[in-house]
Amino acid sequence: MKTINKQLIKITFFIFFIQTITVYGQLPKISDLGEYIWGEKDTYTTLPAIPEKWKNESAVVILSDYDYYYFKGGKALNTFVITRKIIKLNDQAAVNLFSEFDELGQDKELVVKIIKPDGSVNIIDVDKEKVESSELESSYVTFGYRKNVYKSKLAIPDLEVGDIIDFCIYFKERKPIMGVLEAPSVIDVISGEYPIMNYELDVHSKKNFFISIKTENGAPEPQDVSPKKGKDRQYSFKMQDIEKIDPIMWEYTLLNAPYIKFQVSLEKEKKTKAFVGEEKSKIKDNVTKEEVLEYFKGITVFDHGYKGSDKYLKDKGLSQEERIEEAYYYMRQYYLNQFIEAAVAYKNDLTVDNPFQFYAFPKYITEELKFINYYASFLREEKIPFEMIAGIPRSQGKIDNLLFPDDITLFLKINLDPENPLFVSQFGNHTNFNYFPYYLEGNEAYSLEIGDGHRLETIKKVKIPISDYKLNNSDQEYEITFLDGFEKIKVSRKSKLKGHNKVNEISERLNSLNFTEEDHEKYNTKRLYDRLKKRRNKNKYEKEFPAFKEKTITLQKESYEESLEEELDFKIEDFSFEVIETGRYNIEDVLSYKEEFSATNDLLKRAGPNYLFEIGKFIGGQIAIEEGDKERKEDIYMSYPRSFNNTISLTIPDGYEVTGLDKLAVDITNETGGFTSNYSLDGNKLIIKTYKYYTHNYEPNSNWSKMLAFLEAAYQFSQQKILIKKL
Amino acid sequence: MTKKYSFFLLALFLTLKFSAQKSIEPTEEDIALAKELSKKFVEDDIVVLEYSEVINFDYNKKTDKVLVENKIKQEFINLKSRTQIPLIIGYDDQSQINNIYVKYRNGKPTNIRFRDEYYNQEDLFHSDARIKWSGLNFPLLGYKYTYGYKKKYKDIKYFINTYLDSYFPIVKKTITINIPDWLELEIKEMNMGKDLIEKQRTRIENKKITQYTYTIENIAASFKEENSVGPTHYRPHLLFLAKSHSKKDAKQALLNDTKDLYKWYHSLVLQLTNDNEQLQDKTLSIIENFDTDEEKIKAIYYWVQDNIRYIAFEDGIAGFKPEEAIEVYRKKYGDCKGMANLTKQMLIIAGFDARLSWIGTRRIAYDYSLPTIAVDNHMICTVFLNGKKYFLDATEKYNPFGNYAERIQKKQVLIEDKENYILDTIPSNTSKNNKETLVSNLKLEGEKLSGTIQRTYQGESKTDFLYNINSLKKDKKTEALAYYIGQGDKNLILDNVTISSITDRDQDLLLSYNILQNNAVSSFENELYIDIDYYKNYQQLDFEKRKTAFVLPYKTFESTSTTIEIPKGYVIKELPKNLSINNKDFEISFIYKSDSEKVTYEKKIDFKNAIISKTEINAWQEFHKKLKQQYQQQIILTKE
């Protein structure tokens, strides 16, 4: 044993040594960073004048410069980044923001100089001025020791309003992961919270590396500035005069702001998770559909011989459509949910032994590709025609802009009835069959199909359908009663959610532990408890699991109460919550739950013997568009088409009547959506119904005024009061 | 070979764990006890059954310091189904932590690993405070652990106090202090509810020790509330005053009285070289355009406020010793001591008699009658001019000369006087000095209110405003001001917002604007209902669960006057009733007046002492109910 250990140490030492040399051999030395940045080649020794138009900005970026370096270290690709910024600080807020730097250490080196308004230059002695701020335990064990990594922070001395700060951060020691042949993809959005006079980004690669680059929304094209001799390859991007951007609602930054994206890869091999160009000497700036096909051919296996659900589906007398749906839910249980108990037990130490050892060969699926491979194999065996759809989120741009495989989301389109295709995407604990994520809706995507064999053979461009706003619906019914002579308001609310509204909320509303029993029963899988053979595990688990469950349910209830307060924008008390229908087994089924609470009389205003009641608040907080935002210039990108029904039933106390109801009838609808409301009196009940909907997930800016019309109507409704008048 | 070996190891490990399992689970008695305790401590998850502290003293010849060792042991029990708690032990350069252990019910060690790192606090740039920390999981009701460690102090000066309560409620706590005959130590009992405590003095002759034992039962968990006074004001604790020791031949003073404390502080000040040559030119340029002494002092004071960033450092001895003025000037940042010293040195260059001054802010309950380093936490500069003292706290940005921040008012200040010291008290202002007014002249336009608003700010309300607005981004100031006025309410549309200078701290601040407020009036049949109070100040200040005094940033005096023109064809049907209250801490009034043309609403809110004392919590809670109702009241106009 001892001999083996010694050998291991030697080998470790050897690798460590070699890597250190390779890595630092090619990089500017630490002590030279200042010289490297501010040396003879520095083109910013004389600084340009700040444009007059930006004199009222908090700060102006004179230079924003990024240098990405790529090296081969061992068999993997290493990345190092050097960033330099020169910033004119025009106010105290900017001084405060740039006056401190933290997390400095072995892997993050900093040099700073300050240029005073009179032109004098002060180079900060970072080593002298910094103070130790933290020590983190390194994740690396060297020679059996876990070394602490010390971090420092620095307060910049003599930094005042009107100064220019010129700093450079050198992110050094990003450890390469063995066997990874591509560097992480980079997306750099050029514009930021301050205007920029000069932007420069350089990619320092090697002539024998592959590189893909794409620029969007007016970002500059790459210039090849590689030295003629030697192995180095350098691409440069330069841009001037860039206005700042302020984030606004319903906008995707990558659709408007200029940005550069790139990725460097070492080799063109199957293992590379990148779209790699044909030639090392050429920039790859687009990904053809053929390449997408090739890429997925390499990583999909629709020949898994999947038999998992056969036994479960056997003799059930199901139609083909029912079979594939049931198979989805069975797989959700078999490959994911049956392990929930074990995952919970493992994380929270509810068993003596590792709970996963009680599953013969625990196979769980948490990766999209693995799910696609399994489910597609099943479809192929069932001889059901399907397509694999590869799309990118709308927030990331169009499929034609595709450059990185990481941006792709996969799902399957099942063409049992080509007129009414069905969809499946990777399962989660409560997901449904015939569903794919909202963020792909409306974008173009690639559809890939297999031929006679199990390999993908064809690819074509398709448009991903957009869901109907009526199907993405939340329906809420309120029952409101006044208690204790208007001291308190008792409220009961029933919510029913469908479509994306359901999917987006289901994980929050359901506690997985409440469904494990039901699922085990339904799919004939074994409970963790039944798998525990030894008394010690059984004993511990049967005691500690119920305690754990009780605790999570209590915490969950507290969080529901908080989120309801946030939603309604007023304080609530005596809260109770109950799930009525889970909607877990069919996309058409609703998720419904009931909440009961009382609100104090903050919503009631006394007016002599009468009361003003802010009934409009019960449709929830409405979007209030600020005056300035009414002049919006950008198109409107929303998550998905959606609709909201509200029914408010108010019991009018004896001896009172309600007036001011005419304001409760609103009808503003147009092609972008609408807000309508009406009321009726039924005995001692006032019943108000409202309906708000957004027809599309996108509106051109020309439709903004139409949207404003119904958004404003909904907001005004939320401000409405009725008079509860003493008879 | 290797495989077999690992299997054996694994088997051994499992057996050990298995044998331990049963004897660490809660017994029937533990469960019953937990259930019983949860009736008493309804809101708590964990209770400390027994908490003991044993404090011993020793002497280090080499350093000539008295050492302190505090041995702490706690037994926890879980009152809920499952609970996880953090275990955190604080220490610093002057102390160390040894022998930490966490044991199961059966006494077997849990082998929980403690991490050790800097304790990073948001408002402190750098400090020597460190923590050893870990997490503890109680998987079942009635689960128990015993937890303990030793904390050693290298110098008794830094051993200040021990609190009787803790983060969790305690069933029984004992503190044993073994004072050797060679040590003179005074124990002060602070914020003690006498009925709860049993105190015992025992003489242990053979060890030449006098033993003091404090026993206290059923102590509620300590509570931290927002905007509260500091813990020394309300948490029960023992304060230790180490007076002298006689380990050497003669009696050696430690901190026997304030003179000793000053002597130590002064010795640190004497270590400064005060080589201020490089400050000369700058100082002279700051005052060159001013003639009177007062103007010159003011110029230096404002220059330090404006040009030195406050960055807090608390690092060992540097937590007590000011930094050289020239260093603070060079860096343009410093902590309170550094800023005070720079102010002092610049004033000396300008020819004034300026001195460093130690002070405890209102967060600290102690005064200089107690010789302990815990008595102060702040440093300012005192300048003597024509027989008067002016106190300059340059950390208070935008504070006008001659004004004192609430946090130091009425506090004792220890002023340098060579080998001696001067003890004085910072003068106090009244709330009127901080007056904030809002005058609205409004009229109805359908269901909207429109008109002009004028606001003024004085004293600390102005300082506060200036500080906040000046720390915002230049290009966002207009937006932020609109948000400050409208509180994000889109019903309020602003126009013609003007503000007086946001850099002049010597003048009142004026803010004016026009408003158009939608949904401010509700019309039903022939009646108009007007909600006249826009801000409804202090409506959210609900003290339902409050246990400690509520501290306001300064003595607040808000005066609001709103006039609304009555539209033609309408008469007043109903005005809300007047409301007023006046007690020790607050005076508030709502007064409504009317004639045929207008309604006037006058509101005055005066927090006279910048605090709602614990004794006035109930009074506020009672008043708060009325306040909420008042804000619901509407002015009703009806058609003639």
* Other Cβ atoms closer than 10 A to B177: 22
B516 touches chain A (CB under 8 A): no
Q: Which residues pair with A595 in a beta bridge?
A: A493, A577
Sort B359 into a burial class: Cβ within 10 Å, 0-12 / 13-18 / 19+: buried
Sort B572 into a burial class: Cβ within 10 Å, 0-12 / 13-18 / 19+: middle
What is the residue-averaged pLDDT of chain A? 88
Which pLDDT band holds residue A7 (cuts at 50, 70, 90)? very low
**Nearest by CB to A536, which of B18, B309, B529?**
B18
Distance, CA of B186 to CA of B431 (rounded, Å): 39
pLDDT of residue A141: 52
- With DSSP H G I counted as helix, E B as strand and the rest as coil, what are the percentages for chain B, rounded to 5? 25, 40, 35
- Sort out which chain A residues have CB atoms less than 8 A from B83's CB and list them: 551
The torsion of the CA quartet A546, A552, A553, A556, rounded to 10 degrees, works out to: 180
CA B127 to chain A, closest CA, distance in angstroms equals 8
**What DSSP string runs through B96-124?**
EEEEEEEEETTS-B--PPPEEEE---TT-
CB contact under 8 A, A349 and B331: no
Q: ipTM more than 0.90?
A: no
What's the whole-number mean pLDDT along residues A213-239? 94
Six-digit token string for A32: 């030279």
- Measured between CA atoms, the residue of chain B closest to residue A629 is B490
CB contact under 8 A, B522 and A92: no
pLDDT at B308 over 50: yes
pLDDT of residue B224: 85
CB contact under 8 A, A719 and B491: yes
Lowest model confidence (mean pLDDT) among A643-647, B142-146, B194-198, B476-480 = B194-198
The amino acid present at B58, given as its one-letter code, is D
- CATH 3.10.620.30 residue ranges of chain B are 258-425
Angle of helix B477-486 versus helix B459-470 axis, rounded to 10: 130
pLDDT at B13 over 60: no
Which pLDDT band holds residue B195 (cuts at 50, 70, 90)? low
Distance, CA of A91 to CA of A14 (rounded, Å): 52
A702 touches chain B (CB under 8 A): no
Those residues whose C-beta lies under 8 Å from the C-beta of residue A48, and which sit 6 or more positions away, are A62, A197, A198
B529 touches chain A (CB under 8 A): yes
- CATH 2.60.120.1130 residue ranges of chain B are 431-639
Lowest model confidence (mean pLDDT) among A140-149, B66-75, B493-502 = A140-149
* Other Cβ atoms closer than 10 A to A576: 12
Q: Which of residues 197-256 of B touch A (CB under 8 A)?
A: none
pLDDT of residue B117: 86
pLDDT at B86 over 50: yes
Sort B464 into a burial class: Cβ within 10 Å, 0-12 / 13-18 / 19+: middle
Q: Is the distance from CB of B220 to CB of B163 less than 8 angstroms?
A: no
Q: Is the distance from CB of A722 to CB of A660 less than 8 angstroms?
A: yes
Give me the count of residues in chain B. Answer: 640
CB contact under 8 A, A93 and B472: yes
pLDDT of residue B19: 41
B4 touches chain A (CB under 8 A): no
Above pLDDT 90, what percent of chain A?
Answer: 65
Those residues whose C-beta lies under 8 Å from the C-beta of residue A157, and which sit 6 or more positions away, are A124, A129, B330, B331, B332, B333
Phi first, then psi: what are they for B592, rounded to 5°?
-115, 130
Please name the helix (run of DSSP H) or strand (run of DSSP E) that holds residue B619, with its range, or none: helix B617-632
Q: How far is CA A575 from the centre of its chain?
A: 31
The torsion of the CA quartet A315, A319, A322, A326, rounded to 10 degrees, works out to: 20
pLDDT at B550 over 90: yes
Architecture of domain B28-252: Sandwich (2.60)
Six-digit token string for A640: 């998905």
Distance, CA of B46 to CA of B79 (rounded, Å): 6
Six-digit token string for A78: 């290493």
The residue with greater pLDDT, A331 or A35, is A331
Buried/exposed code over A685-712 (b: 16+ C-beta within 10 A; e: otherwise): ebebbbbbbbbbbebeeebbebbbbbbb
Q: Which residues pair with B603 in a beta bridge?
A: B560, B590
CB contact under 8 A, B332 and A715: no
DSSP class of A105: B
- Sort out which chain A residues have CB atoms less than 8 A from B115's CB and list them: 137
Q: Which residue has the tokens 């625990």?
A: A362
**Nearest by CB to B524, which of A91, A659, A716?**
A659
**Nearest by CB to B473, which of A93, A131, A353?**
A93
CA A297 to chain B, closest CA, distance in angstroms equals 40
Q: Please state the three-class secondary structure of B477-516 as a single string.
A: HHHHHHHHHHCCCCCEEEEEEEECCCCCCCCCEEEEEEEE
Please name the helix (run of DSSP H) or strand (run of DSSP E) that holds residue A379, with its range, or none: helix A368-381
Distance, CA of B468 to CA of B499 (rounded, Å): 14
pLDDT at B34 over 60: yes
What's the whole-number mean pLDDT along residues A138-160? 74
Distance, CA of A534 to CA of A358 (rounded, Å): 11
CB contact under 8 A, A540 and B21: yes
pLDDT of residue B8: 35
**Nearest by CB to A58, which of B141, B474, B519?**
B474
Q: Is the distance from CB of B373 to CB of B157 less than 8 angstroms?
A: yes
pLDDT of residue B22: 65
DSSP class of B133: E
**What DSSP string runs through B290-332?**
--SHHHHHHHHHHHHHHHSEE--EE-GGGGTSPPPHHHHHHHT
**Nearest by CB to A91, which of B473, B524, B529?**
B473
pLDDT digits (tens, 9 = 90+) for A73-105: 777 788 888 999 999 999 999 999 999 998 888
What's the whole-number mean pLDDT along residues A357-376? 89
Which pLDDT band holds residue B318 (cuts at 50, 70, 90)? low
pLDDT at A8 over 60: no
Query: What does CATH list as the number for B258-425?
Result: 3.10.620.30
A602 touches chain B (CB under 8 A): yes
What's the whole-number mean pLDDT along residues A369-395? 94
- Sort out which chain A residues have CB atoms less than 8 A from B503's CB and list them: none
Q: Which residue has the tokens 């630490």?
A: A30
Q: Is the distance from CB of A542 to CB of A355 less than 8 angstroms?
A: no
pLDDT of residue A688: 97
A122 touches chain B (CB under 8 A): no
Distance, CA of A217 to CA of B132 (rounded, Å): 51
pLDDT of residue A625: 85
Q: Is the distance from CB of A670 to CB of A699 less than 8 angstroms?
A: no
pLDDT digits (tens, 9 = 90+) for B450-468: 999 999 999 999 999 999 9
Distance, CA of A695 to CA of A656 (rounded, Å): 40
Lowest model confidence (mean pLDDT) among A558-562, B23-27, B528-532 = B23-27
Which pLDDT band holds residue B517 (cuts at 50, 70, 90)? very high
The residue with greater pLDDT, B459 or B223, is B459
CB contact under 8 A, A158 and B332: yes
Q: Which of residues 316-345 of B touch A (CB under 8 A)?
A: 330-333
- CATH 2.60.40.3140 residue ranges of chain B are 28-252
Above pLDDT 70, what percent of chain B?
Answer: 95
Q: Is the distance from CB of B407 to CB of B380 less than 8 angstroms?
A: no
Distance, CA of A411 to CA of A512 (rounded, Å): 24
Q: Is the distance from CB of B39 to CB of B68 less than 8 angstroms?
A: no
**Nearest by CB to B120, which of A134, A349, A546?**
A134
A565 touches chain B (CB under 8 A): no
Q: How far is CA B216 from the centre of its chain?
A: 27
**Nearest by CB to A349, which of B118, B137, B493?**
B137
pLDDT digits (tens, 9 = 90+) for B137-150: 999 999 999 999 99
CB contact under 8 A, A606 and B634: yes
Residue B459, helix vs strand vs coil = helix
- Sort out which chain B residues have CB atoms less than 8 A from A605's CB and list them: 529, 531, 632-634
Lowest model confidence (mean pLDDT) among A297-301, B402-406, B600-604 = A297-301
Q: Is the distance from CB of B168 to CB of B40 less than 8 angstroms?
A: no
CB contact under 8 A, B17 and A96: no
What's the whole-number mean pLDDT along residues B54-80? 96
CA A161 to chain B, closest CA, distance in angstroms equals 9
- Sort out which chain A residues have CB atoms less than 8 A from B636's CB and list them: 607-608
CB contact under 8 A, A155 and B476: no
- Measured between CA atoms, the residue of chain A closest to residue B327 is A157
pTM of the predicted structure, to 2 decimals:
0.89
CB contact under 8 A, A547 and B140: yes
- Measured between CA atoms, the residue of chain A closest to residue B312 is A155
Q: Which of residues 436-475 of B touch A (CB under 8 A)?
A: 470-475
Which pLDDT band holds residue A136 (cuts at 50, 70, 90)? low
Q: Which residues pair with A146 in a beta bridge?
A: A141
CB contact under 8 A, B21 and A627: no
pLDDT at A482 over 50: yes
Residue A49, helix vs strand vs coil = coil
CA A172 to chain B, closest CA, distance in angstroms equals 24
Q: Which residues pair with B356 in a beta bridge?
A: B381
Which segments of B237-292 does DSSP mark as H helices, in order?
258-270, 277-287
Which pLDDT band holds residue A139 (cuts at 50, 70, 90)? low
Distance, CA of B411 to CA of A178 (rounded, Å): 64
* Other Cβ atoms closer than 10 A to B122: 5
pLDDT at B182 over 90: yes
Above pLDDT 90, what percent of chain B?
Answer: 83
Per-residue CA distances from A79 to A136, A176, B102, B343 (Å): 22, 8, 44, 49
Strand extents, DSSP E, B502-634: 509-517, 521-524, 527-530, 550-551, 557-565, 570-574, 579-582, 586-594, 598-607, 611-612
**Nearest by CB to A155, which of B80, B311, B474?**
B311
Q: In which order are the strands placed within the sheet that holds B635-639?
A: B521-524, B527-530, B635-639, B570-574
pLDDT at B12 over 50: no
What's the whole-number mean pLDDT along residues A425-451? 95
CB contact under 8 A, B80 and A352: no
CA B19 to chain A, closest CA, distance in angstroms equals 9
A25 touches chain B (CB under 8 A): no
pLDDT digits (tens, 9 = 90+) for A639-671: 999 999 999 999 999 999 999 899 899 999 999
A601 touches chain B (CB under 8 A): yes
| The domain defined by B431-639 carries CATH number 2.60.120.1130 | yes
Six-digit token string for A187: 């997306």
- Sort out which chain A residues have CB atoms less than 8 A from B628's CB and list them: 602
- Sort out which chain B residues have CB atoms less than 8 A from A543's CB and list them: 25, 139-140
Lowest model confidence (mean pLDDT) among A628-632, B269-273, B595-599 = A628-632
